[in-house]
Chain A
Amino acid sequence: MNNESQSHVQEGAVTHDVHHNGNGHDGHHHHKETFITKYIFSQDHKTIAKQFLITGMIWAIIGALFSVLFRLQLGFPDESFPILETFFGKWAKGGRIAPEFYYALITMHGTILVFFVLTAGLSGTFANLLIPLQVGARDMASPFMNMLSYWFFFLASVVMMSSLFVSTGPASGGWTMYPPLSALGQANLGSRIGTDLWITSMALFVVSSLLGGLNYVATILNMRTKGMSMTRMPLTIWGLFFTAILGILSFPVLLSGFILLLFDRNLGTSFYLSDIYTAGQALPNEGGSPILYQHLFWFLGHPEVYIIILPAMGMVSEIMSVNSRKPIFGYMAMVGSLFAICVLAFLVWAHHMFVSGMNPFMGSVFVLLTLLIAIPSAIKVFNWITTIWRGNIRFTPAMLFSIGFVSLFISGGLTGIWLGNSTIDIHVHDTYFVIAHFHIVMGVSAFFGMFAGVYHWFPKMFGRYLNNTLGYIHFWVTLAGAYLIFWPMHYMGLAGVPRRYLDFSIWKSFNQFNSLNQMISVVTIIVFAVNLMFVFNFFYSMFKGRKLRTQNPWNSASLEWTTPIHPGHGNWAGEIPEVHRWPYDYGKDGRDFIPQTEPIGANESKH
């Protein structure tokens, strides 16, 4: 950024500031900001963060609604719901969910939540919001690329959304999109145009994710304010940094896998196809291997779960420290364990493929590397627990969600030790045990991290608080609900109940869980309703919430709370503050907290 434009930005920031303190309205008449450049094609990282968040929320509602629909089928397989036929026509004739519809629902549920909500919605939101604010930068390294990142995500969303409305239905081969099922339109209705749209959308999504990721890394490495050494960065930034690296290195591999799939589907190549007889016809393809796709897919697919969980880990570390009024325990160990997870994330992908016919020796290598991940994970858990030990804890909704996150991460992480062990995996692979495991450890707990982040930084985003009472109800119902839904599924898994079955009536070994399935479905609907209430709280509080009166509502030591209540584009009016210490000086030398911007005192104790 040259001097001229820098001063320009600063001026803008100053004007903003004056305005907000004046009447609390956004000034749209000073420098060239129009409605479009301010709210739509905005290059301000804070606005882009909000765009990601709100788009992610819309997707989350759709994805969760799909799970409510298929839970209706699982909980009440013998009943019919005429209302479904009203809305979905041929897909729910007589109010009963057709198998093709069911499989489309689960496929889209997975795709939407893994990619659109927990990748774009989570790291898109918080990387954009927090990186410049917490490292002390006026914006991202390339605000324009950042804007493109959102709009590619938006395009991906449009394409994915349109795939829901094609006559043969959206992709329905499972969110992993394994060929040959996903490659052969004659074998699966959803594998016709729906899958082409799915692949197109995912390609756009990868572009979005790469543009964002490169920007995050560039900003963190180059644009930290004076004094902000890497080891003085909040753990949020470390989490987002490793997330971005994981994404940059693994999404291209996924894209290559998808392109080969697109070729197999449309150009007659045989990368993944061999020896297939379907719909009364032997296909000419020979020599391909569906296992190749699985390798390419899981080379992203596994890092993907860390892409989802690392930002949550970072935010939880920050929020726990702030609300315990105590430094995060073992900062360097926390960074080290994030790094270890980031490296190991690339070396464990084939543990999804223990029973795919892969060489058992290779399987054994992946067992070892997979279980190694438990070590950094254990360090993190113990450090979080030690962080709250002898603290002085304030249970804000954000803190409660952080505690819930750790609880869920423990519960789901421990079953990872079961699944990562190939011997046990033979039995529970592709059963409800897996569903229970990954929903708890990366689904719900990443959501908890996201909720924690939203409750904690909502005042920074909108200058208002979310309603606390609704926040507490939201937390308790969701936590109890998550355990009620997913804990019993472990038992279904141990009974061998396979995933992706919509009806168990013909099975002697799997049909003993009807009442349990009913309970789970009822709880799912309640949790869904309570989360809709959160969405309502979000939009209501955006306009009508209690106003923020101080710059630093949580008495936090980190840099984002040194900006004005309504920061303009450029974040700080005047100079960017210099940083003199790490962001976790809570309870030091008898003081409640010492902001990062305060120089080290002469008599200050060392640690």
Chain B
Amino acid sequence: MSSTWIIVAFILGFLIVFQIAKASEYVAILRGEERNRKESNRINGFMLLAFLIVGLFGVWYCNHTLKDKILGEPASDHGVRIDTMLYITLAITFVVFVITQVALFYFAYKYQEKEGQKAYFYPHNNKLELIWTVIPAITLTVLVGFGLYYWFEITGEAPANAQTVEVTGSQFKWEFRYPGADGKLGKRYYKEIDPMKNNPLGQVWADPANQDDIVTSQDLHLVVNKPVKLVIYSKDVIHDVGLPHFRMKMDAVPGTPTTMWFTPKFTTKQMKQKYGDEFVYEISCDQMCGKGHFSMRGTVVVESQAEYDEYMAKQKAQYALANEAAPAATPAAVPTAVPANDTTKPKAAMPTTVQGAAASQKTH
């Protein structure tokens, strides 16, 4: 009902505005179009100046109201770099923003049509143009320089002591695989995926590295101050592992595993102390993935090494889960649908080649 009233109000408002607009045209003709034009010119000139002042106040007010609602301190080492870059860019662009907007609106106001004022014939000035080519060029060089320096630090090789965790996105959930005691993730092949047989990621049971891999979903556990390298898969469409508090993001692409690494700086507990008990590290899907995209939520728990070890000790390897459920599915009874050219496919004899499987597996 209320929507009907709103629509009625809009129509009435429109009719009134339209009548006024039509009348003003007749008035203009009666009073002389020239005089009328000059008057509306003055009004609009003043409005431009007013818009500038109110607008700049609005920029301040918007910042004032919303600055506490954006993310707090970056929770990873890369996040610190990204925020630094962001503030450098903000400083430069804000100065340019204010100068150019003030010049634009103020000049428009100041040089509005006036009796006896003549426009200044000023078609070009090579020196001026050179100045405003060179200054932006230098500024941008600085920004590119900083940007690429941080970019290569962030996207470079993960440190050798990094913990590897595999993240897999699918409509509309996140699953994680930890390498277990051997520190190696076993091979996986998408045709092995079978949630009914407790194999949600398609682990190849013939690969011994798979025997101690732990698979979980929903919560990703990480150790504070220890670099972590995420190897990212997708089972169906493109997803994106978005970690806003860590300022990190990477697509999950079916058929092309991707990686990203970072070092969490604060445990979840520390963040709760800073930002209230409500705080939780969240994983958002940042790449449109279907009707449940907006609800594809995971969480990250950052904890001390001791807490992490305790958590891991409680988890059961997926291999055990799968083989308890279906005892027949021993390594011997495994893959039938293996691509012929996949020479690294385990015959148990060459398990060492599986090392770093995540990245190299797909190169076949």
Contacts and interface: CB of A to CB of B under 8 A. Distances in A.
Do A and B pair up? The answer is yes
B66 A488 contact: yes
B22 interface: yes
Contacts of B202: 277
Contacts of A173: 288
Nearest to B100: A410
Contacts of B181: none
Interface residues of A, number: 130
Question: Chain B contact residues (Cβ within 8 angstroms of A): what range?
Answer: 35 or more
A363 interface: yes
A513 interface: yes
A374 interface: yes
B104 A403 contact: yes
Contacts of A424: 82, 85-86, 89, 147
A383 B129 CA distance: 8
Interface stretch (B13-21, B211-219, B301-309): B13-21
A506 B47 CA distance: 43
A469 B20 contact: yes
Contacts of A189: 291
B104 A407 contact: yes
Interface stretch (A3-11, A114-122, A304-312, A473-481): A473-481
Contacts of A374: 136, 140
A324 B13 CA distance: 34
B170 interface: yes
Contact of B69 (A329, A383, A503, A512): A512
Contacts of A391: 111, 119-120
A393 interface: yes
Interface in A497-521: 498-504, 506-510, 512-513, 516
B284 to A, nearest CB: 5
Contacts of A276: 190, 235-237, 254-255
B122 A184 contact: no
Interface in A76-113: 81, 83, 99-100, 103
B287 interface: yes
B251 A356 contact: yes
A418 interface: yes
Nearest to A500: B288
Contacts of A532: 14
B221 interface: no
A280 to B, nearest CB: 8
Given A99-B294, A357-B258, A496-B284, A277 B124 contact: no
B171 interface: yes
B293 A533 contact: no
A166 interface: no
B254 A418 contact: no
A126 B168 CA distance: 49
B182 interface: no
A360 B284 CA distance: 22
Contacts of B3: 81, 83
B282 to A, nearest CB: 5
A430 B285 CA distance: 10
Contacts of A29: none
B151 A467 contact: no
Given A427-B249, A495-B71, A467 B25 contact: yes
Contact of B128 (A291, A386, A394, A421): A386
Q: Is the contact region of chain B dominated by helix, strand, or loop, or is it mixed?
A: helix
A180 interface: yes
Nearest to B27: A469
Nearest to B192: A282
A480 B52 CA distance: 11
A423 B238 contact: no
Interface string B98-131: 0011011101100111100111111111001100
Contacts of A242: none
B203 to A, nearest CB: 13
Nearest to B93: A414
B24 A498 contact: no
A388 interface: yes
Interface stretch (B38-46, B327-335, B350-358): B38-46
B85 to A, nearest CB: 5
B124 A430 contact: no
Contacts of A480: 51
Interface in B132-176: 132-133, 136-137, 140, 143-144, 146-148, 150-152, 154-156, 170-171
A99 B105 CA distance: 43
Given A375-B136, A487-B58, A180 B21 contact: no
Nearest to B55: A483
B286 A498 contact: yes
A591 to B, nearest CB: 10
A343 interface: no
B288 A103 contact: yes
A277 B236 contact: yes
A83 B3 CA distance: 8
Interface string A316-339: 000000001111111111000000
A417 interface: yes
Contact of B111 (A287, A388, A476): A388
Contact of A392 (B93, B119, B171): B119
Interface in B79-98: 79, 81-82, 85-86, 89-90, 92-93, 96-97
Given A99-B292, A326-B120, A507-B284, A421 B40 contact: no
A382 interface: yes
B108 A417 contact: no
A51 B227 CA distance: 60
Given A367-B151, A414-B97, A510 B284 contact: yes
Given A329-B123, A427-B86, A469-B25, A476 B288 contact: no
Interface in A344-383: 355-357, 360, 363-364, 367-368, 371-372, 374-375, 378-379, 381-383
Given A363-B151, A423-B82, A423-B150, A469 B288 contact: no
B123 A180 contact: no
A524 B242 CA distance: 28
Contact of A390 (B20, B86, B122): B122
Given A403-B48, A417-B89, A491-B69, A99 B291 contact: yes
A189 B171 CA distance: 13
B260 to A, nearest CB: 8
Nearest to B196: A280
A32 interface: no
B152 A421 contact: no
Interface string A448-468: 000000000000000000011
Given A388-B108, A468-B25, A509-B71, A586 B119 contact: yes
A357 B282 contact: no
Interface in A554-600: 584, 586-590
A381 B100 contact: yes
A357 B251 contact: yes
Contacts of B191: 282
B62 A491 contact: yes
A30 interface: no
A290 B123 contact: no
Contacts of A286: 255, 339
Nearest to B29: A546
Contact of A331 (B123, B146, B278, B290): B123
Interface in A522-542: 529, 532-533, 536-537
B33 to A, nearest CB: 9
Given A357-B251, A406-B104, 17 more contacts: A103-B290, A325-B113, A333-B124, A360-B155, A379-B129, A379-B132, A389-B122, A424-B147, A427-B86, A430-B240, A431-B286, A483-B58, A491-B62, A491-B66, A491-B67, A498-B242, A498-B285
Top 8 nearest A-B pairs by Cβ distance? A496-B244, A274-B255, A357-B258, A360-B155, A501-B294, A469-B21, A587-B119, A395-B44
18 contacts: A81-B3, A83-B3, A178-B238, A276-B254, A290-B255, A329-B123, A375-B133, A379-B133, A388-B107, A389-B107, A393-B45, A395-B40, A400-B44, A418-B90, A469-B24, A472-B40, A586-B121, A607-B123
